[in-house]
Amino acid sequence: MIEFLGEVVAWFLDPAHWTGANGIPNRVWEHVQITVAATSVAALLAILPAIVLGHRKQGGTLVVGAVNLFRAVPSFGIVVLALPITIGLGLGIGFWPTFLALLFLAIPPMFINSYTGVAGVDPDLIEAARGVGMTDAQCLLGVEVPAASPIIIAAVRVAAVQVVATATLGAIVGWGGLGRYIIDGFAIQDDVMVFAGALLVAGLALVTEGLMSAVERWLVPKGLQTAGNEVARIAV
């Protein structure tokens, strides 16, 4: 065991593993790129419609149920199923099937939390807002969204970490990222490489969690900060 960990440390200290297309910096960069891309696009696709629907209190169970279906499809399945589609569309292998699978993964928690967050805002707050003369849009943007922000941002945070962990699947369809160490190591039964890859993914997930916590502290209104942590886990 100690010997194995020694080999893992030696793997990280080997300068050859820090250069080139298969080096740690490049693979981490690829991984970060897809995480940022998938999380941002998913946020755009999920949060905006969900906020509007939540504000109007329309759709409700039906929409949430439909979005939950996305979650039922395993990411591995999507990555493989998307392959002939992306090839047929001329988008090739590698990045696009992986990106698609990650969208399917990230959209549900962000959508559901945004919807329930906005729909569940204290009616007294909304009544008060109308009472001081706010329009529909002002109420939504000035009161409802900030009130729901702890829940929404918590979902983005969780989704981002899940995306980091799941992006490793991309290596199966010829993409790069940190999954390469796991898949390639497995093919030649190099346990050290597999373990090193797993450590890197875990490390990146932790860094993502830390960054998103900071974002949460920055974006959520001060008055909601302490309350936010308790209510922040609704649908995730």
> Which positions touch other proteins (CB under 8 A)?
21, 83, 87, 90, 92-94, 171, 173-174, 180, 183-184, 186-189
Q: State in angstroms the smallest separation of the CB of 84 from other proteins.
A: 8
Q: State in angstroms the smallest separation of the CB of 187 from other proteins.
A: 4
Residue in 77, 222, 229 with CA at minimum distance from that of residue 146? 222
Signed CA dihedral, 175, 179, 183, 189: sign only: positive
> What is 65-133 written as a DSSP string?
HHHHHHHHS-HHHHHHHHHHHHHHTT--STHHHHHHHHHHHHHHHHHHHHHHHHHTS-HHHHHHHHHTT
Q: State in angstroms the smallest separation of the CB of 80 from other proteins.
A: 10
Q: Which CB, 157 or 180, lies closer to other proteins?
A: 180
Q: State in angstroms the smallest separation of the CB of 79 from other proteins.
A: 11
Residue in 38, 21, 40 with CA at minimum distance from that of residue 166? 38
Burial status of residue 210 (CB atoms within 10 A of its CB: 0-12, 13-18, 19 or more): exposed
Q: Which CB, 21 or 132, lies closer to other proteins?
A: 21
Q: State in angstroms the smallest separation of the CB of 94 from other proteins.
A: 7
Q: Which CB, 51 or 83, lies closer to other proteins?
A: 83
Query: Using CA atoms, how far apart are residues 220 and 228, in angstroms rounded to an integer?
Result: 8
Q: Which CB, 83 or 143, lies closer to other proteins?
A: 83
Q: Which CB, 54 or 179, lies closer to other proteins?
A: 179
